[in-house]
Amino acid sequence: MFEPELVLDAKAALAEGPSWNAKSQKLLWVDINGHTVNAFDPETGENESLDVGEKVGAVVPRENGGLVLAMESGFYTYSKETKELTPVENPEAHLQGNRFNDGKCDPQGRFWAGTMVLEGEHGEANLYRLDHDFKVNLMISDVTVSNGLAWNPEKSKMYYIDTKTKKIRSYEFDGETGSIDEERTIITIPEDMGSPDGMTIDEEGMLWIAFFHGGKVVRFNPDNGDRLSEVLMPASNVTSCAFGGENLDELYITTAREGLTEEELDRQPHAGGIFRIKPGVKGAPSYTFQG
């Protein structure tokens, strides 16, 4: 059994999108409903917070400095020098009931981010790929809540979660072109397990999936769907996870306060915090945007 360590009592409304910045040795994360992008330093315990003025679903570091973000109104870049946000493109300007949700970079440094339906019909959201030249490509449509992404150690497969389907899908991934094909459902989540949310992968190719309304992170074998281990969390709304630390042997886990009653918050005082475990296996790095 793993004992989650509370490393930041953030009390975030909806902490999400953890991404380990190897250069700074800090954990990037967002509070979607708090409108903030954050950088947590595990060495000092300090957390830098930037208010971006609207809901922000995901953030990744940019190789030449700064950040790339998937926000409520589309893709943006952020310059640490000028402190300015610059819009790139909003591929869903015509879908006012959607917002961007989870996202991360693939091994070649393209930024994948998807949207979710807040007001509208199921299937009106999508997954996009932002290339190095800032061209936006529609990759998967008919999505409702775009969430976890991961690439296997061989960089030949991509794994993806549309939460509402309660399925984990796999795709053959072409690193040179960034294309995906041969969609397969590899894991179907039982109804009583909670909603599959964010996801990462370890060096053995096993998936770590966070469960919203499930209070846990579960390690799965993507080849046969076996559940290998569970991390029981002191918060019911577990949103995502990412490997970090100097040796990528620490798993950082984000949680949320959103949707909890006052009674539930009394029982879960650290909901919305950032937690960490030592899982006994190293993980995949968080890739950097190369554009």
Phi, psi of 282 (to 5 degrees): -85, 160
pLDDT at position 115: 98
pLDDT at position 269: 97
Sign of the four-CA dihedral 32, 286, 28, 188: positive
Q: Does 291 score more than 80 pLDDT?
A: yes
pLDDT range class, residue 133, cuts 50, 70, 90: very high
| CA separation for the pair 169, 192 (Å, rounded) | 20
Per-residue pLDDT tens digits for 164-181: 999 999 999 999 999 999
pLDDT range class, residue 241, cuts 50, 70, 90: very high
Single-letter amino acid, residue 226? D
pLDDT at position 274: 98
**Dihedral over alpha carbons 161, 167, 168, 171 (to 10 degrees):** -90
Joined tokens for residue 10: 């953030």
Joined tokens for residue 85: 């946000």
> Are the C-beta atoms of residues 60 and 288 closer than 8 Å to each other?
yes
> Are the C-beta atoms of residues 199 and 210 closer than 8 Å to each other?
yes
Q: Does 1 score more than 80 pLDDT?
A: no
Joined tokens for residue 83: 């402190």
The number of beta carbons lying within 10 Å of the beta carbon of residue 260 is: 17
pLDDT range class, residue 64, cuts 50, 70, 90: confident
| CA separation for the pair 14, 255 (Å, rounded) | 7
Residue with tokens 């040179």: 176
| CA separation for the pair 26, 284 (Å, rounded) | 16
Per-residue pLDDT tens digits for 248-263: 999 999 999 999 999 9
Single-letter amino acid, residue 193? M
Pick from 200, 206, 208: nearest CA to 231: 208
What average pLDDT does the structure give for the chain?
A: 97
